[in-house]
A and B are shown apart, each in its own frame.
Chain A
């Protein structure tokens, strides 16, 4: 399992690392993983939550784990006003609470469906479980609305992979920045 943190450490800049990892993952060469969390990150999401997040993000948007979705979400959740799509949905839970509940609920769904934690499932099984989030009136679901969980986690994964300049370059879409962001997020 390739780890985004290891990738980042092996190259001179984080942006260069992401560029290479995106190129690799979009070409089908990498699978999801997660970096070793800093103490601050660990206080925001536990190792288990980070593993579930990496797994579900990569299931929904292949390549997003290597692109750093866990670091992205964790960094945003450390901010008082996270720049996540969650801010647009007006759900009455603080962001961190929502993510913890959403990830736990997804893991519960995996246990109920397969008897295993979500992040240990094979891709085909993860795909089946993640697809259930789109089912209306999902039986046994106890978390925030399943469709909302799907939308938010999918959006984060899209941000991490498709919201950065490197992916535009990979897809040969001109990015055409007026002002380059100081970093991807």
Chain B
């Protein structure tokens, strides 16, 4: 039995994360009746406990995904659950993509070109960094593409970053403050960061820009309605198949409901968005909605990443700062294939560490246990320094999100995430490890080591492009096949660069919002 709501929304947005909340605030302010369907619960800032155990409440708790491939994705750690989505526990490293990231295929003969260029996104990067509040130093960040200076000065550094910066300098490498969507000073009524490294547990003070503190009030003021524990299963089209008629979802108790909408935006992150599209197959869209290209779910592209650690004789203050790090280096960011791989990497230097959890001190040496682990923890808690290379990964068709034969409690097929890093990413990782160990040595570390290669972030799977036969959406996120259906989020990215994706996903969403508002008569007509 489906409960069909009689009132039609102008816009239904699936997901209340970084881009869903942005779009809801923008479109609501433009006078549209917006309903957000959020699969998880509402969140309260005063329930964001400073605990590596309690922090897991913010991580994915929806239907499981099956994991395949040589380099599995830690999907439940990457994804969020509830209001704010993964941006509620993200580390707020807000980098811009570089100009060349938009033209990898033309420049280097691999991957894809974007249907837009950096200059199309630059105004949105510039405007968002003021709205959201970014700290950094444009002049020191010599690799950054053109744009306005950051509205806040950079964050402070602590001893481990200072030690490592010295190592970079001795190797002839430049470092700069890591740009962060975290207040370094009071900004827009939000306080400065306390530098206590609890970013992963959610930042209840509002110093770190999560969707609740950035867009919550605007959504409320605009009359946006958010329905929680409303897990979307399918989009139903009109008989022509050219327009979405309604959005079907399940409430926690299994009640199936449906809401009509003039326009629908899928902002359910890189796994659930293709899952919903594939589960929405019908007579007009036998391979899944908006999938005439066959590329829904294809070219799922996580970053590669590797953590390097070193032990110093002096204390490193590794408990201080931000989880995302303190400094950065992009001297080897260029995708120039002359080094033997396409795509480079960004060093994120000096992450604040907790003792436990996936990224905690104890996992800096996963092989240790017993008395050796105890000895390590006593030393590392005072003397360890860390940095990570975030590594570009070129899109591969075989890395994908597909439906399995297993179903969740509502009868929706589970997703399978397949990921194997390509040779470019693996070769870049080896280069980064070699360089990183030399940096630690130059910095004076007594010993240094690299952790196993891992993945980070989830992008691709619903890529944008000019050619409807080779992409899912156009440059604004509008699907080629369904005229009132848009996609938002990092799933749109045809290539992923070597930077954290939230700033770019947000800039894309802001551009989408402007496009929808400016063309509402075309998109919103029933």
Interface residues of A (CB under 8 A from B): 26, 59-63, 81, 83-85, 87-90, 92, 127, 130-131, 134, 150-151, 154-155, 158-159, 162-163, 167-168, 171, 173-182, 184-185
Kindly list chain B residues whose C-beta atoms are within 8 Å of the C-beta of A158: 355-356, 360, 362
Q: Per a CB cutoff under 8 Å, which of B75, B194, B374 touches A178?
A: B194
Asked whether, in the complex, the Cβ of A162 is within 8 Å of the Cβ of B377, the reply is yes
Asked whether, in the complex, the Cβ of A88 is within 8 Å of the Cβ of B59, the reply is yes
Counting CB contacts under 8 A, is B398 at the interface? no
CB distance from B430 to the nearest CB of A (A): 21
Q: Indicate whether A61 sits within 8 Å of B53 (C-beta atoms), given known contacts A88-B77, A162-B356, A178-B205.
A: no
In the assembled complex, the Cα of A88 lies from the Cα of B77 at a distance in Å of 6
Kindly list chain A residues whose C-beta atoms are within 8 Å of the C-beta of B61: 81, 87
Q: Per a CB cutoff under 8 Å, which of B49, B197, B357, B373 touches A61?
A: B373
Asked whether, in the complex, the Cβ of B54 is within 8 Å of the Cβ of A181, the reply is yes
Kindly list chain A residues whose C-beta atoms are within 8 Å of the C-beta of B382: 171, 173
Interface residues of B (CB under 8 A from A): 46-54, 56-57, 59-61, 64-67, 72, 74-77, 194, 196-198, 201, 203-205, 319, 355-358, 360-362, 366-367, 369-371, 373-374, 377-378, 381-382
Q: Indicate whether A92 sits within 8 Å of B369 (C-beta atoms), given known contacts A26-B374, A171-B377.
A: no
Instruction: Tell me the nearest residue of chain A to B50, going by C-beta.
Output: A177
Tell me the dominant secondary structure on chain A's binding face.
loop
4 further A-B pairs in the complex, CB-CB below 8 A; given A61-B374, A154-B369, A179-B49 = A159-B53, A171-B382, A176-B196, A178-B50
Asked whether, in the complex, the Cβ of B54 is within 8 Å of the Cβ of A92, the reply is no
Tell me the dominant secondary structure on chain B's binding face.
loop
Instruction: Tell me the nearest residue of chain A to B367, going by C-beta.
Output: A134
Kindly list chain B residues whose C-beta atoms are within 8 Å of the C-beta of A179: 46-50, 204
Asked whether, in the complex, the Cβ of B369 is within 8 Å of the Cβ of A178, the reply is no
Asked whether, in the complex, the Cβ of A181 is within 8 Å of the Cβ of B50, the reply is yes
Kindly list chain A residues whose C-beta atoms are within 8 Å of the C-beta of B194: 176, 178
In the assembled complex, the Cα of A81 lies from the Cα of B41 at a distance in Å of 13
In the assembled complex, the Cα of A171 lies from the Cα of B187 at a distance in Å of 35
CB distance from A185 to the nearest CB of B (A): 5
In the assembled complex, the Cα of A88 lies from the Cα of B378 at a distance in Å of 26
Q: Indicate whether A60 sits within 8 Å of B373 (C-beta atoms), given known contacts A88-B59, A162-B360.
A: yes
A-B contact pairs, 17 of them (CB 8 A): A62-B370, A81-B61, A83-B53, A85-B358, A87-B61, A87-B76, A88-B77, A90-B65, A150-B369, A154-B362, A155-B356, A171-B355, A173-B319, A173-B382, A176-B197, A177-B198, A178-B196
Asked whether, in the complex, the Cβ of B57 is within 8 Å of the Cβ of A83, the reply is yes
